[in-house]
């Protein structure tokens, strides 16, 4: 009995440690307090500010568009890379796999800084063209897409590609109609991962973004340094919204995975 | 169906990998239209590689493949009028049965109405009427196999390749499918090329069997030919159970093997080294005084239709099948009808003999322990507390396995110091072979060993045989 109590205590402690900070922020986002600690009345003004201040709305929209565009390109690159590596000869495949590992463990600062040096300084591409920023985010995300597609390829019965060729399909048709549908769940989770990585990124963006453009991360860092309290408190609301979206997304993915599992068990 | 024209010809096909390993070497084959040809051999013999070259998945390093007289050696698989049934079905899991079967027709831009009709017809052929909308994972293994066959034959290929298609099915299902495939072959008139390691499957289904080992064709012929007249010891051993003995021709239609002199029907020159093959069902057990050779029954196993009886005579082991039971330890005589002895001239005089396993789980011959751990011989096995376990972790019953040793004549040395040898005997025959002498040593254990030596020894010399363990090749039989 006592052991059981201990167990639940520890679980509650860990959960508090994980979720209390964001809960505090969420609670305060629904007040008109200007600082954490001074509790005043309930208010939605933070949410109103968040969705009506053009500067904030543009920043959020820009970040989301950037995330989806980069994730799109990263998904194509990562998927093609994974398929290529999978069907390469053994030695080549392990070389590609190892080379893919390096950017994954590499510090984002290094990635961002080196892309800035290469594209902006060496090739002279203007930061205002958004090319360095998108390129940076694609570089950041593609290896992760690669990693989420590879297991699906390994699960796939490798002879189905040959079966498609055998039935008269060209290699391209076999890839599109047979291989891609098999690894599609991996591609989708790779895409989702790429979107969140791009949304999260701070370092690559600071080095490569145009001066007039801000992602949520860079904006939050600048805003918290400044003194504009209305904006600052609006960011509490933004954090809450992002958190809620993430929770919903996670729930959705879990339910879907559960359903698929049941189907596979023949229910 | 017109008979007699070659639909596919393989000419000097060789497949060598980068590491120098030859999966297939100098393979030649002609297949006539409408034939059911089976590639039979142990795993790793190159049969699947050959099939993959016909399908177009692998390119031969040398040689040519002709389809209806036209070279197709380098044609990609999607441009060959050949379809394959894969070992593990390789159905497309994200498509239903209709989509799976229609896939090939769609690639040929067949109109939809025709596709619907053809799919319906082929599903009737494989006994899966009305299964169009079912998804793949609701089917049993046997049903999936039928879909795989339907998906291939719906394209009306000129040749259907089947890569161990029944390997994943249980025994009963496999027997049913064998008959159905044979039926289907008759009905469709398509040429079937079938790959299997199951000799019974090959004998049941094929018009022609190609026995392969180590990338080379060992024999090609009808199932009856292959069974009754094996071309060499490998084929005899692989097809059916066989007693294989090394021996020598001692006179006109007379051969000595297994410690006895037998009358046979194959006319081979006196003095020739031979391999004699006797099928277990042809071994006749009688009372000791009536038998050509005598022995002791060492094991009796009930096999349903018959008893499998092992008789030890000297150091030779004879396996017999009989409907009458025998008692372990009983003294019996062994006879074989001249008709039932198949004599092959031994091109390769490799000596093959049985090893013993002693109480300490050590390999021994003639009471001498051979310095080779059993775990080296039985692949993937390990020993714990004196008990041997196989790769899957289950205990190996050492009484049930038999280990055979092969050693080449040039690897055996003769010595005057008889006691130094693994076994002793006298020289019963010698032939000069140009640059060396080939001797037959008849041992105290009633076995004949062939030994090559460059020096001349005399007939009837008493010698000991030195056999280095590192030159021995061990094979395990269960």
What is the predicted ipTM? Answer: 0.72
Q: Measured between CA atoms, how close is A55 to chain B, in angstroms?
A: 46
Contacts of B108 in chain A (CB under 8 A): 168
What is the chain A residue with the closest CA to B82?
A: A166
Please say whether the dihedral angle defined by the alpha carbons of residues B54, B57, B58 and B64, taken in this order, is positive or negative: positive
Structure tokens at B457: 């020894």
Q: Long-range pairs for B395-403 at CB < 8 Å and ≥24 separation?
A: B398/B357, B398/B361, B398/B374, B400/B478, B401/B357, B401/B476, B401/B477, B401/B478, B402/B317, B402/B354, B402/B476, B402/B477, B402/B478, B403/B354, B403/B355, B403/B357, B403/B363, B403/B377, B403/B474, B403/B475, B403/B476, B403/B477
Q: How far is CA B3 from CA A203, B67, B206, B210, in A?
A: 75, 15, 16, 20
Contacts of B152 in chain A (CB under 8 A): 166-167
Q: Summarize pLDDT for B277-316 with one digit per residue, the tens.
A: 898 989 999 988 888 889 999 989 998 888 999 998 877 8
What is the chain B residue with the closest CA to A179?
A: B92
Q: Within an 8 Å CB–CB cutoff, is residue B134 touching chain A?
A: no
Phi/psi at B220 (5° precision): -130, 135
Q: Within an 8 Å CB–CB cutoff, is residue B141 touching chain A?
A: no
Residues 118-157 of A with CB under 8 A from B: 157
Q: Which residues of chain B have pLDDT under 70?
A: 1-4, 347-348, 477-478
Q: Measured between CA atoms, how close is B91 to chain A, in angstroms?
A: 7
Contacts of A171 in chain B (CB under 8 A): 76, 78
CA–CA separation, B47 and B218 (whole Å): 12
What is the chain B residue with the closest CA to A173?
A: B107
If we measure between CA atoms, which residue out of A207, A232, A248, A246 comes closest to residue A56? A232
If we measure between CA atoms, which residue out of B41, B43, B75 comes closest to residue B58? B75
CA–CA separation, B162 and B212 (whole Å): 16
Q: Which domains does chain A have, with CATH numbers?
A: 61-215 (1.10.3720.10)
Structure tokens at B151: 């998906």
A162 contacts B57? CB cut-off 8 A: yes
Question: Which residues partner with B403 through β-bridges?
Answer: B355, B476
Report yes or no: A104 and A171 within 8 Å, Cβ to Cβ.
no
Structure tokens at B163: 């890569």
Structure tokens at B38: 């089976």
Query: What H or E segment, with its residue span, contains residue B124?
Result: helix B112-125
If we measure between CA atoms, which residue out of B261, B257, B241 comes closest to residue B303? B241
Residue B17 exposed, middle or buried by CB count within 10 Å (0-12, 13-18, 19+): exposed
Residue of B57, B93, B107 lying closest to A169 (CB–CB) = B107
Distance of CA B59 to the CA centre of its chain: 26
Q: Measured between CA atoms, how close is B92 to chain A, in angstroms?
A: 7
A163 contacts B92? CB cut-off 8 A: yes
pLDDT in tens, chain A (267 residues): 678 889 999 999 999 999 998 888 888 888 877 776 666 778 888 888 888 888 888 888 999 999 999 999 999 999 999 999 998 888 888 898 888 888 888 888 888 889 888 988 888 888 888 888 999 999 999 999 999 999 999 988 888 999 999 999 999 999 999 999 999 999 999 999 999 899 888 999 988 888 888 888 888 888 777 666 777 788 888 888 888 988 898 898 888 877 765 555 543
CA–CA separation, B81 and B155 (whole Å): 9
Report yes or no: A50 and A116 within 8 Å, Cβ to Cβ.
no
What is the chain B residue with the closest CA to A172?
A: B78
Residues 12-71 of A with CB under 8 A from B: none
Q: Measured between CA atoms, how close is B163 to chain A, in angstroms?
A: 12
Pairing state between β B260-263 and B293-302: unpaired
Cβ neighbours of residue A5 under 8 Å, at least 6 residues apart? none
Q: Which of A160, A166, A188, A261 to mutate to test the interface with B (most CBs of B within 10 A)?
A: A166
Which residue's entry shows tokens 């990263």? A74
B107 contacts A167? CB cut-off 8 A: yes
Q: Within an 8 Å CB–CB cutoff, is residue B84 touching chain A?
A: yes
What is the chain B residue with the closest CA to A185?
A: B94
Q: Within an 8 Å CB–CB cutoff, is residue A159 touching chain B?
A: yes
Cβ neighbours of residue B352 under 8 Å, at least 6 residues apart? B233, B244, B246, B404, B405, B406
Query: What is the per-residue pLDDT for B1?
Result: 41
Query: What is the per-residue pLDDT for A267?
Result: 38
Query: What is the per-residue pLDDT for A263?
Result: 52
Q: Which domains does chain B have, with CATH numbers?
A: 6-228 (3.40.50.300), 241-345 (2.40.50.140), 351-477 (2.40.50.140)
Q: Within an 8 Å CB–CB cutoff, is residue B137 touching chain A?
A: yes
């Amino acid at each position: 009995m006592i052991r059981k109590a201990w167990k639940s205590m520890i679980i509650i402690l860990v959960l508090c440690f994980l979720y209390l900070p964001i809960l505090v922020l969420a609670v305060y986002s629904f007040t008109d307090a200007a600082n954490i600690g001074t509790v005043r009345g309930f208010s939605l003004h933070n949410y109103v500010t968040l969705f009506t201040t053009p500067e904030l709305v543009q920043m959020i929209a820009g970040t989301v568009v950037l995330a989806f565009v980069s994730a799109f390109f990263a998904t194509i690159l990562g998927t093609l890379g994974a398929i290529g590596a999978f069907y390469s000869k053994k030695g080549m495949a392990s070389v590609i796999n190892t080379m893919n590992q390096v950017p994954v463990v590499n510090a984002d600062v290094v990635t961002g800084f080196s892309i800035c040096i290469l594209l902006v300084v060496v090739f002279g591409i203007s930061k205002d063209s958004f090319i360095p920023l998108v390129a940076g985010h694609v570089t950041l995300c593609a290896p992760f897409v690669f990693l989420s597609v590879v297991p699906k390829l390994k699960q796939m019965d490798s002879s189905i590609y040959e079966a498609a060729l055998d039935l008269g399909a060209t290699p391209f048709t076999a890839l599109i109609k047979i291989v891609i549908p098999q690894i599609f769940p991996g591609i989708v989770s790779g895409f989702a991962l790429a979107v969140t990585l791009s949304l999260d990124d701070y370092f690559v963006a600071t080095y490569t973004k145009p001066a007039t453009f801000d992602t949520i991360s860079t904006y939050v860092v600048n805003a918290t340094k400044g003194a504009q309290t209305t904006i600052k408190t609006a960011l509490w609301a933004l954090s809450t919204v992002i958190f809620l979206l993430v929770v919903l997304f996670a729930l959705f993915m879990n339910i879907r995975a559960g359903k698929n599992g049941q189907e596979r068990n023949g229910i | 169906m017109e008979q007699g024209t070659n639909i596919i010809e393989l000419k000097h096909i060789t497949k060598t990998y980068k590491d120098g390993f030859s999966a297939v070497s100098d393979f030649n084959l002609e297949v006539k239209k409408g034939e059911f040809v089976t590639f039979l051999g142990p795993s790793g013999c190159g049969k699947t590689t050959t099939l993959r070259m016909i399908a177009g998945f692998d390119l031969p390093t040398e040689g040519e493949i002709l389809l209806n007289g036209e070279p197709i050696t380098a044609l990609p698989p999607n441009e060959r009028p050949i379809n394959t049934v894969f070992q593990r079905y390789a159905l497309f899991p994200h498509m239903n049965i209709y989509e799976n079967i229609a896939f090939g027709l769609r690639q040929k831009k067949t109109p939809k109405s025709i596709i619907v009709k053809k799919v319906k017809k082929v599903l009737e052929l494989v006994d899966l009427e009305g299964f169009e909308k079912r998804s793949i994972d609701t089917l049993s293994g046997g049903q999936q196999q039928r879909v795989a066959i339907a998906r291939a034959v719906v394209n009306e290929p000129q040749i259907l390749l089947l890569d161990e298609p029944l390997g994943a099915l249980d025994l009963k299902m496999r027997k049913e499918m064998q008959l159905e495939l044979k039926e289907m072959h008759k009905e469709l008139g398509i040429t079937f090329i079938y790959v299997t390691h199951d000799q019974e499957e090959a004998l049941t289904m094929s018009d022609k069997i190609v026995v392969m080992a180590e990338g080379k064709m060992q024999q090609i012929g009808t199932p009856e030919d292959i069974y009754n007249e094996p071309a060499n010891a490998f084929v005899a051993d692989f097809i059916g159970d066989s007693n294989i003995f090394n021996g020598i021709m001692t006179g006109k239609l007379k051969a000595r093997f297994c410690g006895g002199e037998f009358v046979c029907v194959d006319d081979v020159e006196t003095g020739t080294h031979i391999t004699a093959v006797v099928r277990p069902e042809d071994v006749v057990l009688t009372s000791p005084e009536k038998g050509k050779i005598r022995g002791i029954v060492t094991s009796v196993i009930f096999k349903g239709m018959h008893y499998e009886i092992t008789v030890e005579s000297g150091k030779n082991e004879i396996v017999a099948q009989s409907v009458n039971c025998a008692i372990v330890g009983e003294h019996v005589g062994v006879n074989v009808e001249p008709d039932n002895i198949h004599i092959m001239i031994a091109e390769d005089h490799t000596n093959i003999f049985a090893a013993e396993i002693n109480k300490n789980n050590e390999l021994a011959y003639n009471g001498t322990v051979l310095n080779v751990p059993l775990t080296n011989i039985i692949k993937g096995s390990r020993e714990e507390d004196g008990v041997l376990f196989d790769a899957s972790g289950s205990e190996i019953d050492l009484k049930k396995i038999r280990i055979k040793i092969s050693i080449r004549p040039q690897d055996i040395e003769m010595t005057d110091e008889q006691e130094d040898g693994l076994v002793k005997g006298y020289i019963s025959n010698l032939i000069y072979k140009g640059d060396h002498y080939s001797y037959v040593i008849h041992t105290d254990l009633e076995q004949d060993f062939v030994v090559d030596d460059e020096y001349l020894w005399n007939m009837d010399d008493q010698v000991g045989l030195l056999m280095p363990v590192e030159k021995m090749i061990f094979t395990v039989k269960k």
